[in-house]
Amino acid sequence: MPGNFKITTFGCQMNKSDSERLKNLLSRCGMQEIEEESDADLLVYNTCSVRQTAEDRMYGIHHNLEELKRQNPNLVVAITGCMAGRDKDGKIRERLPLVDLFFPTEEMVYLPQRLSELNQKLLDPQAVGEQSEYSHYLKIKPTYQNTFQAYIAISNGCNKFCTYCVVPYSRGRQKDRPAADVIEEVREVVAHGCVEITLLGQTVNLYNPPDKTTALRQDNPFDRSKNCFGALMWELNQIDGLRRIHFTAPHPQHMDDETIAALALPNHMNYLHLPVQSGSNAVLKRMNRPYTREHYIVTIKKVREKCPDIAIGTDIIVGFCGETEEQFEETVSLYKECDFDIAYLAMYSVRSGTGASKLYKDDISRVDKKRRWNVLQKLMEETVLRKNQRYVGTTAEVLVDACEKGLCSGNSREMKRVHFRGSENMIGKLVNVKINRALEWILYGSVSSF
């Protein structure tokens, strides 16, 4: 009888989507997913390398593997994701001697064969042979977390080589998935009840699929000559039953008029997440972010001209190499001018192998990084609380994704978290909620129609 597996996922939405593919692959090989690590025959850790703390978490878990392997001598431990992808010299692998398989995400297609070589009893031999036809890991269908939401990967990898980032090393150069595959997957999930999708890519708005001349309709009003992201968004808007489309993460350099126009398509969420990373041109140059502060601000203005009520989020790194107090204050002033709804703030940490690790000194103290982070965090909390007040008295469309003891919750079209009294039969449904109270992170309301 085939064995049991448990997948633990760290990091971004792309990692979560990759784990959904892993789950389906292993299930199709006869394995059974379980919750407890102690009962597993296979443990898979899908890792993140965006910051050192993310990798340190995996090193901490590694210390516990000795006891698990003592309890089950046949236990197989596998690591995939960004830690495996960026380990070009084997130094990360050397620090994890209890790991049996260490493979980049794209080598997921070979996992059944490798597991069979380690322990033939783990998998159904006949099923393993049936899984050998995948030409690329994105051809593996995911096992989605639920029926009403789905992550849809449209590309993998990145060509940008921002000096702080490991993604081009861990995932390779950008490879765009055929548009026909993306459209087919979206049609399939919608046919099974999905109402919201999130398009995923490291530079999602630089989408340029190999089959753009054949897979995209001739009456598509968006440009298909180069960047086809707007054209893809239009195609997906034509699918009956799909109510919400979100995407992450676009790059400011490619936030062109076509992509901005796509934000106004009927099914797009009223939210845009556009990473800026810094408000200083000097820092942006050291980061190898090929746009200026001025370009970013103009882009935000164009977005708001097209979609006046849109909520906008961003990513910011504080304490990057050489960041002076004046340069940090430029980030603060950009934040105020753009008036973001939310920001995901990070303190810079050195990632081995990146351009920054080779070119610059990590010369900002931990104390200064934390202080700068706190300044932006306080500004964000004040801004979010102020901006959320405008929703009081309005009605929000909420996709309910949780309900416990009569308290339901979900996201509005502006990606605001909304809580209200309801019932479990609302999960997966779009519900209109009248907002009566707003805090920093939660809007509270009552059902107005269901």
Q: What is the pLDDT of residues 333-390, one digit of tens each?
A: 999 999 999 999 999 999 988 999 999 999 999 999 999 999 999 999 999 999 999 9
| CATH code of the domain in which 92 resides | 3.40.50.12160
Looking at residue 130, its pLDDT comes to: 63
- Asked if 175 and 85 sit in the same domain, the reply is no
Number of domains in the chain: 4
Averaged confidence pLDDT in the chain: 94
Q: How confident is the model at residue 132 (pLDDT cuts 50, 70, 90)?
A: low
245 shares its domain with 311 = no
The tens digit of pLDDT for each residue in 281-313 reads 999 999 999 999 999 999 999 999 999 999 999
**133 has pLDDT over 80:** no
Residues 365 and 425 in one domain: no
| 15 & 67 share domain | yes
Same domain, yes or no, for 338 and 431? no
Query: What is 99-149 written as a DSSP string?
Result: -SEE--GGGGGGHHHHHHHH-GGGS-HHHHHHTTT-SSGGGSPP--SSSSE
| φ/ψ bin of 319: left (φ > 0), alpha (ψ from -120 to 50), beta (otherwise) | left
Residues of the domain holding 148: 144-269
Asked which of 92, 122, 137 is the last residue of a domain, the reply is 137
Residue ending a domain, choose from 223, 241, 269? 269
Task: Give me the mean pLDDT over the 395-416 stretch.
Answer: 97
Prediction pTM value:
0.93
158 and 124 in one domain?
no
* Distance, CA of 418 to CA of 300 (rounded, Å): 26
Residue 129 has pLDDT above 70, yes or no: no
Residue matched to tokens 């934390």: 370
Same domain, residue pair 8 and 126: yes
CATH code, 278:
3.30.750.200
- Asked whether the predicted pLDDT for residue 226 surpasses 80, the reply is no
Q: What is the largest CA-CA distance in the chain?
A: 64
Distance CA 99, CA 62 (A): 8
Does residue 431 carry a pLDDT above 90? yes
Distance between CA 334 and CA 159 in Å, rounded? 26
| Mean pLDDT, residues 12-32 | 93
Residue 392 confidence (pLDDT):
98
234 and 164 together in one domain? yes
pLDDT tens digits, 50-96: 888 888 889 999 888 988 999 999 999 999 999 999 988 888 999 99
Residues 11 and 130 in one domain: yes
How far is 252 from 125, CA to CA, in rounded Å? 48
> Which residue among 374, 390, 406 closes a domain?
390
- Best CA proximity match to 438, nearest among 421, 422, 423, 418: 418
**Whether residue 150 sits in one domain with residue 96:** no
Give me the pLDDT at residue 290, please. Answer: 96
CATH number at residue 245: 3.30.750.210
Question: How confident is the model at residue 287, as a pLDDT?
Answer: 98
Among 170, 135, 171, 141, CA closest to 156: 171
Q: Please tell me whether residues 154 and 265 are part of one structural domain.
A: yes
- At 105-116, the pLDDT tens digits run 999 999 998 998
CATH number at residue 422: 2.40.50.140
pLDDT at 162 over 90: yes
Q: Kindly state whether residues 155 and 263 are assigned to the same domain.
A: yes
